[in-house]
Structure formats: C-alpha cells, structure tokens
Amino acid sequence: MSQLKNMSLSELTRHQEELQKQYDMYKNETIRLDMSRGKPSQEQLDLSMDMLTVLTNESHVVDANETDIRNYGLLDGIPEAKEWFGTMFEMAADQIIVGGNSSLALMHDTVARAMLHGVDADATPWAKLPKVKFICPTPGYDRHFSICELFDIEMISVEMTEDGPDMDQVETLVANDEAIKGIWCVPKYSNPEGITYSDQVVQRLSKMETKATDFRIFWDNAYAIHHLTDTPDELLDIVKQCEHAGVPNRVYQFASTSKVTFPGSGISAFMASKENIQFAKKLMGIQTIGADKINQSRHIRFFEQIGGVEKLMKQHAAIIKPKFDQVLSTLEQKLAEKEIADWTTPNGGYFISLNTMEGCAKRVVSLAADVGVTLTGAGATYPYGKDPVDRNIRIAPTFPSLGELKKAMEILCLCVELAAVEKVIKQ
C-alpha cells in the first residue's frame, strides 16, 4: 500500500503544497520535451548514412539474379532481401514478400484483404459477416487498435502477463466465439512493456482450438533484433510451432527495418505459409507491380558493407541503453519507495511501461503537458483509447538527448507524485 495512505489529511495537504511549489517552478521555465513516440534519435539515424551512397556503379543496378532493379518487376522483392529476412526469421523464399517502407501498411492491407476477400479463396470475406472481433492484449500498440477501429472490428482486451497475453482468457475466448478472427501480438520486446512471450505462450497460441476456421495471429515482430543487452530474450518460432500443430496458415508475421535504418524509409516483410503468401500475392499483384527494389538493394548492400546488421544494432544499443538506464534510475530514485507506481525493465525494444496509481494517468499526462513535457496520451495503449483503470503511460526514451531525458523524467516523476497526492486527498 502507498505510504500516502498512512498520512493524515494535514500531512497530505502540506505534502501537496510542497510538490505544487516544485511543479510551479518548472512552469516558469520554457521547457519543450517530447517523449511521446518511439522515434530513433538523430545520432541513431546518422549510423545508416552510408546506406545512401552504397549503390555507386553500374554493377549495382542488378539484383542477385541479374534482374535490373531500376525496372518494374518482382512483386515479392529481390532475392537477396528475401534471403536476408528469411535467414533472420528462418523462413523459405516462398514464405516471404518483401514490402515497402512500412510493416504497418502491410498489416493494414492484410486486414483489408481479409475484410474484402477472406483469408483464402474459399473463406467468407470478414466484411460480409455480421460481426468481426479481434483479441487485443493490453497494454498494446495503439496503431493496431486504430486498424481495428477503421474496419469496425470489435476489440476484446486481454491482460498481458509477464509471459505474454493471459492464455487462459485467450483460449476460452477463441474456443467459444466464431466471430473472433484475429489477435494482435508484438511477441518480442512488446510495445509498450518490453515483454517477450514465453515458449509456453507461443505453444499455446499455436495449439489452441479456435471456433473460427479462418482465425489468424498477427505476429508483429517489429523489435526482433532490438536488444539492449548482450543476453537477448529468446522467442520461440511461432511459424514452426503452427506447422507442428497442423495449422500452418494460422500466423501472419511482419517485420521491418524502420528502427534499424530509417523509419519511413526502411524495408518491410510479410511472412507466412506458402499458401497464405500465394493467396496474398494474387491480390497484391492487382495493387502494385512491386515495392521499391532500389531501397531493398541499398539495405542489403549496406548490411554487407558494415559486416552484418548485428553490428549496427549494437551501435544502436550503445546509444539508447544509457537512455533506458536514465529513465529507470530516475524512476527508482524518485518513486521506488513511495509505492505509487510500477514500471517495466525491458531487455530490448523502444519503450518502458509505467503504471501510476489507478485513476491518475490522464492527470499525469496533462500535468506534464502543462509544463512542456509531451507524453503518449493516457489510454493510447488500450483499445478505443480507454484505459479501464486510467493508470498506464508509455515512456519512449530514445528520441530526447540524455540531458533532456533527465529533466523530462524528473518532471514526470513529480507529476506522478502530485497526481497521486491529489487522488488520495480526494478519496
């Protein structure tokens, strides 16, 4: 229980006045700090500058099969890009489509295709059904939830545990409701908690009975190689698990280099069973002749030139690990003993998830905004933007400098405490 609960009303009021005084001092400064979105810092972007000049002569205008990358063709990408993703995720060439600059676009289009055409030639288009529902492990990635809202897919929240989604809940839901057609998963260094799904959770996802025969797992492996330590989390290969379980078509896997090279100018991949890929290619071939092969080639040549992407990821980690440490040490220093908040300590990814006292997250975000610190909106990590207990805040430490981050975190911790005292006084 919070120490605040043991204070008398007069002690609480005095404490509130002290905190308010500190807060008002920040109000007199012109602070502009943004911790709202998981963007790499400029220093990280600079790591990949050589990619822009890696295609230098005529021998660089063809792919590994001597196809001219300047011309139309290759809906599923150049062979070396397919091989690169294939090696990373242990997928065969016919299980991969290399896409354009955004895996989110691939996810959006995959949902759109299922809505309009169904998940295979024999399946009913989801849009023709009276109701379609998705399971959304929470807290989760807001843009997944926005896709569901756009297509009028009802979202069912399932709590995240330390091992991934609460599988007892997931299994019961999918076994009994045919309208549940999908689940969003960020299985490694999840957004926002940085959790990696346990082997058991991956196995249960692949083995569970689903009432819907056209159920799909949207496996958004956005942070597969974004380690912060030398002892990375291990994630079981869900594609293989689904194959073993006799449901090879159950999973769609996505990834991109957005936070490896340049967000908005990376390359992405859609990976699934051969059958799923064949069906997707048929429909995608109507939409496009193919993605940007020059950018695919640039990426693969750049990774070769620097001696492998792992080296680049280590350089990223060297820049962002101190930022994660800064956030965690400030939280520890300012809040640990007060028992008014808890937070995650991820081994990778882009976020730290902070839980305030219940009913305080919105107030914290608004207090911080009033002194110039922008945080991700409270509730954004939940379907429909509504955190049922109003306590989760996503912290994105990568973009600000260390100095900015220190100040932003001091302000954030003060706001967490101020909101908590206000709440306890009101109760």
222 touches ligand PMP by CB under 6 A: yes
**Angle in degrees, CA 200, 201, 204, rounded to 5:** 85
CB of 100 to ligand PMP, least distance (A): 9
Identify which of residues 241 and 258 has a Cβ nearer to ligand PMP in the complex: 258
CB of 109 to ligand PMP, least distance (A): 11
Contact by Cβ (8 Å): 176, 215:
no
104 touches ligand PMP by CB under 6 A: yes
Identify which of residues 222 and 357 has a Cβ nearer to ligand PMP in the complex: 222
Query: In terms of Cα–Cα distance, which of 141, 375, 103 is closest to 260?
Result: 103
Identify which of residues 212 and 280 has a Cβ nearer to ligand PMP in the complex: 280
Give the x-and-dash track for 232-261 against ligand PMP (CB under 6 A). Answer: ------------------------x-xx--
CB of 98 to ligand PMP, least distance (A): 12
- In degrees and rounded to multiples of 5, residue 99 shows phi and psi of -105, -160
36, 102, 241, 356: residue in contact with ligand PMP (rule CB under 6 A)? 102
Give the x-and-dash track for 182-221 against ligand PMP (CB under 6 A). Answer: ----x----x----------------------------x-
CB of 222 to ligand PMP, least distance (A): 4
CB of 351 to ligand PMP, least distance (A): 8
CB of 185 to ligand PMP, least distance (A): 10
CA–CA distances in Å: residue 313 to residues 40, 55, 229, 333: 12, 22, 11, 29
**Straight-line distance from the first to the last Cα atom of the chain, in angstroms, rounded to the nearest whole number:** 15
Identify which of residues 258 and 355 has a Cβ nearer to ligand PMP in the complex: 258
Rounded (10°) CA dihedral 86, 90, 96, 101? -60
Give the x-and-dash track for 3-42 against ligand PMP (CB under 6 A). Answer: -----------------------------------x----
Judged by CB under 6 A, the chain residues 134 through 173 that form the site for ligand PMP are: 141
CA distance 163 to 201: 7
Strand partners, 310: none
344 touches ligand PMP by CB under 6 A: no
Strand partners, 219: 185, 253
36, 206, 268, 326: residue in contact with ligand PMP (rule CB under 6 A)? 268
CB of 143 to ligand PMP, least distance (A): 7
Identify which of residues 111 and 212 has a Cβ nearer to ligand PMP in the complex: 111
CB of 263 to ligand PMP, least distance (A): 5
Contact by Cβ (8 Å): 381, 344:
no
Q: Using CB under 6 A, which of the segments 98-106, 305-313, 360-368, 376-384 binds ligand PMP?
A: 98-106
CB of 370 to ligand PMP, least distance (A): 27
Identify which of residues 167 and 267 has a Cβ nearer to ligand PMP in the complex: 267
CB of 38 to ligand PMP, least distance (A): 6
Contact footprint for ligand PMP (CB under 6 A):
38, 102-104, 141, 186, 191, 220, 222, 256, 258-259, 263, 268
